[in-house]
Chain A
Amino acid sequence: MSKSTFVYVTFIRTIPEHLWSALTTPQFNEQYWFGMRCESAWTRGSPWKLLYGDGRVADIGQIVEADPPRRLVIKWRNEWNPELKAEGDSLCTFEIETVPDVSPAAVKLSITHSIEQAESKFIHAVSGGWPRILSNLKSLLETGTIALKSSKAA
């Protein structure tokens, strides 16, 4: 079966523990994920949810792997849009690597998001968001403020 895969890589001047906490803490999520937050126990097998600011569920899934602060794999599907939901589960892998020999400390964050479906509309919908989410995450961790306030960028 064909597959849609997207890969996003960014370098952030921070340490792995801070980045892990930014990915797994709802109050932290809201600051860079355009008001959305993730809820989970962040252990293998535990449920995972992505919620809008008002508490509506956007996406649901399960933690497939959790190795803090290095690797997180989430089985993830859309919950509110029937067309996207019908595509089923996607797999989203977060990898955090320390960049060797740099000062100040920096990490490489790689996100690989894939689904067993060619031309996936779900991945397309999510992927439109990743670069802006990551840009926000980077500026939040590096400077304490975010670059973009709204998800409705032109």
Chain B
Amino acid sequence: MNQPDLLFKALADPSRRALLDLLYANDGQRLSELCRHLDMTRQSVSQHLELLQAANLVATRRRGREKLHFLNPVPLQDIYERWISKFERPRLKALHDLKRRLEGTHK
């Protein structure tokens, strides 16, 4: 599978997106820490992490005997440039602002 396919496949799953959100909130976590926040077996979390790594969305670093997981945002930047940035950014922003106002989110 080529890199964009791996990337979109990795993102097309709520558990994997949740893992990315967990790493965004607190980068450099161990598998056991990530498992604590998810209602899944350790093995499932580990498999999801492997797919995220294959898509280059998660990078790992060793610290002694521990393996730490980091969110790698570079492929997301590539998606942004390939699929969003070039398509009329100002109008997209206006729509996004309108949607936020109408839906009353405060982010």
- Chain A: minimal CB distance from B83 (Å): 12
- Chain A: minimal CB distance from B5 (Å): 15
Among B28, B61, B74, B89, residue most surrounded by chain A Cβ atoms (within 10 Å): B74
Q: Is the CB of B85 within 8 A of A148?
A: yes
Q: A80-107, CB under 8 A of B: which get 1 and which 0? A: 0000000000000000000000000000
User: In the complex, what distance in Å separates the CA atom of A151 from the CA atom of B89?
Assistant: 15
CB neighbours (8 Å) of A11 from chain B are 3, 56
CB neighbours (8 Å) of B77 from chain A are 131-132, 134-135
Q: Is the CB of B61 within 8 A of A134?
A: no
- Chain A: minimal CB distance from B11 (Å): 16
Is there a chain A Cβ closer than 8 Å to B78's Cβ? yes
Q: Which of A1-9, A15-23, A25-33, A37-45 contacts B (4 or more CB under 8 A)?
A: A1-9
- Chain A: minimal CB distance from B104 (Å): 22
Which one, A6, A131, A148, A154, contacts B93 given CB within 8 A? Answer: A154
Is there a chain A Cβ closer than 8 Å to B21's Cβ? no
Q: Nearest chain-A residue to B78 (Cβ)?
A: A135
Q: Which of A96-154 contact B (CB under 8 A)?
A: 110, 112, 130-132, 134-135, 138, 147-148, 153-154
Is there a chain B Cβ closer than 8 Å to A10's Cβ? yes
User: In the complex, what distance in Å separates the CA atom of A130 from the CA atom of B77?
Assistant: 10
User: In the complex, what distance in Å separates the CA atom of A148 from the CA atom of B84?
Assistant: 12
Which one, A8, A148, A154, contacts B73 given CB within 8 A? Answer: A8
Can you sample 21 A-B contacts with CB below 8 Å?
Answer: A5-B70, A6-B27, A7-B27, A7-B59, A7-B61, A9-B56, A9-B59, A9-B72, A9-B74, A10-B56, A11-B3, A110-B59, A131-B77, A132-B77, A134-B74, A134-B77, A135-B77, A135-B78, A147-B81, A147-B85, A154-B89
- A residues with CB within 8 A of B: 5-11, 110, 112, 130-132, 134-135, 138, 147-148, 153-154
